[in-house]
Structure 1
Amino acid sequence: MRAAQFEECGDPESVLTVREQPVPQPGPGQVRVRMLASPINPSDIMYVRGVYGRTPQLPATPGFEGVGVVEESGGGLLGRLIVGKRVCTLTADGGAWAEYAVVDAKKAIPLPSSLTDEQGATFFVNPATALIMTRKVLAVPKGEWLLQTAAGSALGKMVIRLGAHYGFRTINVVRRTEKADELKNLGADVVLVFDPERDSAEEFAKQVRELTAGGVQYAIDPVGGATGSAVVESLGNQASMLVYGTLSFEPLTFSPRALMGHLAGIRGFWLGPWMEQQSLPAKLRIVSEIKRLIASGILGTDVAESVPLDSIQTAVATAQESGREGKVLLQLGNGAVTG
């Protein structure tokens, strides 16, 4: 089989190659999946660069999620039940950017025929993160304000649609003015343009405080650096902020008094560890909710293009382009079973 692989961490365009490898065999409790497609997410890029929360065991194959068809079980009732089914795959240590992948049977989620391969490939990472942060962890009440940075991203658009659906209001921070109309058409209540290289953090915080009558109560930030720090300065009394990414690769810098004076708090969020702490019934409820919200378009993913695995360098370069619209998918195979 063919698989994308890197032997050292670095720029994905330089270190990734496509190589022939033996077809993997599933062990007990595992299944082998014939992969159809996998998205290129920021977490995948960071994994290849060696700056993600998990250190790759080199040589490594990236890809934390994807869609495929279960071809063989390594044993166990669950594995046998899903043989022949089209599933979303979840892999904590990568492996989805290949023609075949071995995953735990409990992390192969059967998909309804109503979902396309594109939506199946992007089924979990972004939709689950958006849903869990806003509805489970922060539990933003109806009518309250939620501020998010990187609002023009795929996940950011999901948060906007979740707000419109569940009734919480969103303040959406972007770096480019041309994003504003697009996000407002999606249901964004407010769009603020903030680029720390040219805009004042003090003015930004003042804008937010005026909009929210004293400071925002809920915030999520995947950027960090000067942008995330400006959000800290805009928090209101007893506010909660979740940090779930490091897109700027820079730390938050702020006075402790920004939190002390408002009794505000900042927490980290990472989907994998959070899910591991949940009971099986809770996980099943989340998966069921994601299926429903994707089917209704609220957690759907915009896909820009699908690129063959052999063009991996082109695919990762395209995925990292500034201002790119929609996800880039790696095309890994054909002939999905949709039942």
Structure 2
Amino acid sequence: MKRVVFERCGEPAEVLETREEPTPTPGSGQVLVRMIASPVNPSDLLYVRGRYTFTPRTPSGVGFEGVGVVETAGAGLGKLWVGRRVCVLNQNGGNWADYVVVDAKRVVPVASDLPDEQVASMFVNPATVLAMVRHVLKVPQGGWLLQSAAGSELGKMVIRLGKRDGFKTVNVVRRPEAKASLSALGADAVICSAEGPIDEQVRAIVSEGVKFALDPVGGETGTQMIRALAEGGKILFYGTLTGEPVCFHPRFLFGGGRRLEGFYLGWWIESQSIFAKISLFREITKLIREGILTTDVGPSFPLDRVREAVQAAEQPGRAGKVFIRPA
């Protein structure tokens, strides 16, 4: 079988390689999955660069989510899933491969009517959106939510969810030409960080500032997002795309009830009960069918062309999510 690995952290297009390896055998409580597709997510690339929430143990595989078919299983629950198409949640990375072994509790059988690409990408972005917006921030109808990186697949999901749930979005993009497509998608307001301080542009739209905000960027963008918070406002930082810290004076937090929190989906999921997890996947499936949490599909690449895939995934203005397709 073929598997994408890296021996050291660095730029993905430089350190990733495709190797021939023996097909693994599942142990007790594990399943062997024949992979169909796996998306190239920002979290995958941060992981390869050594800038993710946890540091890789190299040599390491890549790919936190994907879709495949359970081929065989060791003793235990996994035998129930043999022959089933499943969403594969690989907490250690490794889905960019022909086959992968994971714990049986980390595969989720899925409905036959969902396309492979939607199943492959139904966890990282959709679950993050629902967890942050509905369960952590609890954005109410009529509320204003500010988000950076609004042109990302996750950002577009937030916009569509806002139209469905009745909250309003202020969306930050880096390029002026990205404004029109988000407005057409249903964004209530779109601002460009190159056209002035984010907080000043936000207060021209919502004079008191916003009560809810999401930022995966950090650095100066995250700093300006903090300054856009209203009294009692809360911002969730769920990424560090710039690799730079945010800066603010502690006095900004005095008396205003403003809150700054980090969000990591893996930790949040582990804190939920099994019933809450089942309910979350049902929510995701329903909203994919409604077209709310769908992923725009871009080009696919085989394992042998993984370096091309990661370069394509980081092209500004690319159309749709890039996928690795082992077959």
State the TM bucket, normalised to the shorter chain: over 0.9
Matched, 1:146 2:145: yes
Residues in 2 aligned to 1:123 and 1:29: alpha-carbon distance in whole angstroms = 23
Q: Deviations over 1:234-263 (max 9, x none)?
A: 100110100000011110011122222422
Aligned AA (1:318): A
Structure 2 gaps, min length 5: none
Q: Deviations over 1:83-120 (max 9, x none)?
A: 10000100111010000011111110111111111111
Q: Match of 2:60, SS?
A: coil
Residues in 1 aligned to 2:298 and 2:53: alpha-carbon distance in whole angstroms = 27
CA-atom RMSD, angstroms? 1.0
Alignment of 1:125-140 (within 5 A): 125-140=124-139
Matched, 1:267 2:261: yes
Alignment of 1:200-279 (within 5 A): 200-201=196-197, 204-279=198-273
Q: Determine what percentage of the aligned residue pairs are the same residue.
A: 54
Matched, 1:71 2:71: yes
C-alpha displacement at 1:75, in angstroms? 1.4
Which residue is 1:38 aligned to? 38
Q: Deviations over 1:245-294 (max 9, x none)?
A: 00111100111222224220000000000000000000000001101111
Alignment of 1:9-88 (within 5 A): 9-76=9-76, 78-88=77-87
Structure 1 gaps, min length 5: 334-339
C-alpha displacement at 1:315, in angstroms? 0.6
Counterpart contact for 1:65–1:90, Cα < 8 Å:
yes
Residues in 2 aligned to 1:284 and 1:227: alpha-carbon distance in whole angstroms = 35
Residues in 2 aligned to 1:241 and 1:190: alpha-carbon distance in whole angstroms = 18
Residues in 2 aligned to 1:274 and 1:234: alpha-carbon distance in whole angstroms = 26
C-alpha displacement at 1:225, in angstroms? 0.4
C-alpha displacement at 1:54, in angstroms? 1.6
Q: Deviations over 1:153-187 (max 9, x none)?
A: 00000000000000000000001111111111111
Which residue is 1:173 aligned to? 172
Q: Match of 2:35, SS?
A: strand
Aligned AA (1:282): A
C-alpha displacement at 1:133, in angstroms? 0.4
Aligned AA (1:68): G
Which residue is 1:307 aligned to? 301
Q: Match of 1:14, SS?
A: helix
Counterpart contact for 1:54–1:93, Cα < 8 Å:
no
Q: Match of 2:176, SS?
A: coil
Counterpart contact for 1:31–1:79, Cα < 8 Å:
yes
Q: Match of 1:178, SS?
A: helix
Q: Match of 2:51, SS?
A: coil
TM-score (norm 1): 0.94
Aligned AA (1:314): E
C-alpha displacement at 1:28, in angstroms? 1.5
Counterpart contact for 1:235–1:262, Cα < 8 Å:
no
Residues in 1 aligned to 2:27 and 2:231: alpha-carbon distance in whole angstroms = 52
Moved over 6 A (4+): none
